Amino acid sequence: MARDAEVQESNGRKRLRLRVAVHESGPEGTAHFFTVVAFDHVEARAASFPKGQAVRLSGRVSAWRDQAGKERLGLVAEELTAIE
């Protein structure tokens, strides 16, 4: 994880927001950063994950436009597990 997990509340519903880095293999070693959100049981389990924690997640890709009108991509996690 690129930073500590953050719990937010909107319209009475809690949501976990975090940033993850996905590193490409090879000599370049490029990293891609994604915003991940999780709700309900996933949010409760993962709220204490610290920055640097390796995680495995599955879910769906979500697209939206930010306030400046730029298209953003993120992930909605359905499963999120710490890797020891």
What contacts 7, CB < 8 A, 6 or more positions away?
Answer: 14, 15, 16, 17, 43, 47
Is residue 82 within 8 A of residue 49, CB to CB? The reply is: yes
The CATH class of 6-82 is: mainly beta
- Looking at residue 45, its pLDDT comes to 77
Record the pTM: 0.74
Task: Spell out the domain ranges in the chain.
Answer: 6-82
- Looking at residue 68, its pLDDT comes to 93
pLDDT tens digits for range 11-59: 888 888 889 988 888 888 788 888 898 888 787 777 788 888 888 989 9
d(CA 50, CA 33): 16
What contacts 5, CB < 8 A, 6 or more positions away?
Answer: 16, 17, 18, 46, 47, 48, 49, 50
Instruction: Tell me the pLDDT band of 7, cut-offs 50, 70 and 90.
Output: confident
